[in-house]
Structure formats: structure tokens, C-alpha cells
Amino acid sequence: AQSVAQPEDQVNVAEGNPLTVKCTYSVSGNPYLFWYVQYPNRGLQFLLKYITGDNLVKGSYGFEAEFNKSQTSFHLKKPSALVSDSALYFCAVDDYKLSFGAGTTVTVRA
């Protein structure tokens, strides 16, 4: 079965600093990986996806993620975090249905 893991429950950064949210995957074959963000009592908003092609994927709101096959990782990054980036972030793998990581709560302090 395909799965993703988010090793950090929480990430705290100061506004303006780089933000990284970690994700590792375990799949057979080519992975189809997604990042979503969730604000309180809301559904999930799509940030970006990796299907094939360039290992560096650029997404919404200034986020990007790097697909690393040797490390089986798909970390989400943002060069300069904003307070409004504070939310719950999910990594997911698609095996004709999405399986989500446990989620990482990001808090950006002013």
C-alpha cells in the first residue's frame, strides 16, 4: 500500500523566515504526490502536485516542493513565511484515492 508520513506534528517559524514542512513517501512505482492546506473548519485547498517531470514543483501562494527520489521525500517549502500561512498542512499520495499524512500544524509568529 502506498503511504506518506509527516514526521513533524508542529512547525513554528517567525514571519519572513523560510518554512519547510517535511513529507516522506512509500510507494511502489511512480508516486503521485500532493500537498494541501486546511484552515480551521474548512475543506482542503490544493497547493501543488508532483506527477512527473521537474523535481521542483511550484504551487499556489508561493509554495514549492522538491521531489527527491533517493530520499523518498517531498518536502514543502516557502522562502519567506507569512502569518497567514498558519494552518494545517497535509501531504498525500494518490493510488486512485488519496491517502493523507497525519498533518503538520504550521504556526508563523509575527
Query: Would you say the C-alpha torsion 87, 34, 101, 64 has a positive or negative sign?
Result: negative
Alpha-carbon dihedral of residues 88, 18, 77, 89, nearest 10 degrees? 0
Q: Which residue's CB is nearer to other proteins, number 78 or number 90?
A: 90
- Contact pattern from residue 69 through residue 98 relative to other proteins, giving x for each residue in contact according to CB under 8 A and a dash for the rest: -------------------x-x---x-xxx
Out of 11, 85, 93, 103, the only residue in the binding site for other proteins (CB under 8 A) is 103
Positive/negative CA dihedral, 26, 45, 102, 11: positive
Residues near other proteins (CB under 8 A): 32, 34, 36, 41-46, 49, 51, 88, 90, 94, 96-103, 105
